[in-house]
Chains A and B, each alone.
Chain A
Amino acid sequence: MESLVAGDLRINVDDTTDPQAIRLHWLGMSTDRQPEKVLGPFFAALLQAVADQPRVLELHFEKIERFNSSTILSIIQLIQAARNRNTPMVVIYDPTRKWQRLSFDALRIFDKRDGLFELRPMEAA
């Protein structure tokens, strides 16, 4: 699967390191007015890829500089779409960065203890 570059945002796709997971490394900034226009088709392709070959989706936000609230909506849509397809997802963030801690902590509402969504603070180096 191809990585995504859209404006100041880059999402590097790593589907080779771990045969059990597709890792998305978010970099740069996601500040588009309508991020769903770019992220929607990308996420659809991603979900198709894991439908063809079941794997865990790992979303790595540790290195992203910034995103806007519209991007959070797109991420939530992906979480819901993955759950609807029984695709396990893990969101990894950097708890030492206050903005990430406060933004991502709220996503715990999607952790239904069914193994389909996990919020994971990055381990200290």
Chain B
Amino acid sequence: MSTALCLEVELQPEWDNVTRASEAVALLALGSYGDGDLRDALAMVSGELLENAIKYASPQTLVKLAIRESASAIVVEVTNAIVGNEEIQRLADQLAWLASHQDPAEAWAAALAQVTTERRERGGLGILRIANEGGSRIDYAVPSPGVLTVRASMSKAPANE
């Protein structure tokens, strides 16, 4: 019998905590879903969201990781303090890029092609990877001034492949 996955943790914005947290997520997911694609996807999504948060978060503030499961979906949510609107704009640009393509796989391939021609800044692949490889719908919210929450929702039903 599987158990619903539920996690909420606050982390110091240190890079080593990305690996620690995504490993913890992988371990928890192993208990809930076994050693399969969903476990890999959850660990990847958690890692990429945390990487973004730690890269761009306001220093000296905690980063919050929450994972919640409903009957149909699993939501990975990362919340961090931000300085100014730069991070929000970056995220909005990445989501607009994603929406401008037929599907996440096409957006991912197009981004990789741009990387090779230096027409794309080195960052920004994480969000596209979450959409493509993680099969996730991504959105964000500003729950209070100076705070950003990024959510990745993945369906528990088998994704189109």
Contacts and interface: CB of A to CB of B under 8 A. Distances in A.
Given A31-B47, A68-B51, A102 B15 contact: no
Residue of A70, A76, A106 with most chain B CB atoms under a 10 A cut-off: A106
Residue of A31, A69, A73, A80 with most chain B CB atoms under a 10 A cut-off: A69
Contacts, number: 68
A91 to B, nearest CB: 13
Interface stretch (B59-67, B77-85, B125-133, B145-153): B125-133
Nearest to B54: A33
B37 A109 contact: no
Contacts of A97: 37, 40
A106 B105 contact: yes
11 contacts: A29-B19, A33-B15, A66-B22, A66-B40, A73-B125, A97-B37, A98-B41, A98-B161, A99-B133, A103-B129, A106-B112
Contacts of A108: 109
Interface of B: 15, 18-19, 22, 37, 40-41, 43-44, 47-48, 51, 55, 105, 108-109, 112-113, 115-116, 122, 125-126, 129, 132-133, 161
A103 B19 contact: no
5 nearest CB pairs, A to B:
A69-B125, A98-B37, A106-B109, A102-B133, A99-B40
Given A31-B18, A102-B105, A76 B115 contact: yes
For this complex, into which size category does the number of interface residues on chain A fall?
A: 20 to 34
Contacts of B122: 70, 73
A50 interface: no
A107 B112 contact: yes
A33 B129 CA distance: 16
Residue of B41, B55, B105, B133 with most chain A CB atoms under a 10 A cut-off: B133
A106 B113 CA distance: 9
B112 A66 contact: no
A110 B109 CA distance: 10
A109 B111 CA distance: 11
Contacts of B129: 69, 72, 103
Given A32-B15, A66-B44, A72-B112, 5 more contacts: A73-B125, A98-B133, A102-B132, A103-B133, A109-B112
Contacts of A70: 51, 122, 125
A80 B40 CA distance: 28
